[in-house]
Structure 1
Amino acid sequence: MERIPKKNPDIIWKNVRGEIVLLNPVTGKYYGLNKVGCAFWEKIDGTKSLSDISALLLDEFNVEKERLLKDLEALIKTLTENKLVTLD
């Protein structure tokens, strides 16, 4: 997991009462992130690798590593398929 996620600069996002809401202005679709998704999104800075972010999330949340990695895999798939994030 050494790829580096980058936020699509066209995405409009806002933290609303602890939940991040994303808007893809091209498609007009909204996306809501759960607590772990919010933490992941906030850690994307264009320099941290997926491994770096995973390690930070493991420190932040009391969850089994396998569970976190599985959830992140699904989240990353959704974010990339919807062009909210790219992986370099």
Structure 2
Amino acid sequence: MLKTKELTHNHLISQMEGNIVSDMDGETVMLSIHNGKYYNLGALGGVIWELIKDSISLEELVTTLQSQYDVEQTKCEEQVHAFLNQLLEEGLIKIEA
């Protein structure tokens, strides 16, 4: 499985199927059908989750987030990388070259 260190700007990120997602007071919560776990993605995690509904490159994801939020590119990349790594470890997203 792809690890964060190997994740590049050109990789395509998308949601894995089999998750039930809902909004609870502005935060995105999710139940994975595959592992039976609940996840609270939070408000910003919910935005990222929506953006990866269809395949999107890491570069495009970061650019989109920067256009919506006041955050410098390096910090945005680091935080998005960390978040995607957590989703990847839980088997909630797929990464394609």
TM superposition score normalised by structure 2: 0.82
SS for the counterpart of 1:39 is: helix
- Contact preservation (8 Å) 1:19, 1:32: yes
Q: Which runs of 5+ in 1 are unaligned?
A: none
Identify the residue that residue 19 of structure 2 maps to in structure 1.
Answer: 11
The alpha-carbon deviation at position 35 of structure 1 amounts to 2.6
Task: For 1:37, give the aligned amino acid.
Answer: G
- Contact preservation (8 Å) 2:29, 2:42: no
- Contact preservation (8 Å) 1:4, 1:46: no
Identity of aligned residues (%): 26
CA RMSD of aligned residues (A): 1.3
CA distance in 2, matches of 1:67, 1:79: 19
Task: For 1:49, give the aligned amino acid.
Answer: S
CA distance in 2, matches of 1:45, 1:19: 17
Q: Which runs of 5+ in 2 are unaligned?
A: 1-8
The alpha-carbon deviation at position 16 of structure 1 amounts to 1.7
Q: How many residue pairs are counted as aligned between the two chains? A: 88
Q: How does 1:1-88 map to 2 (within 5 A)?
A: 1-88=9-96
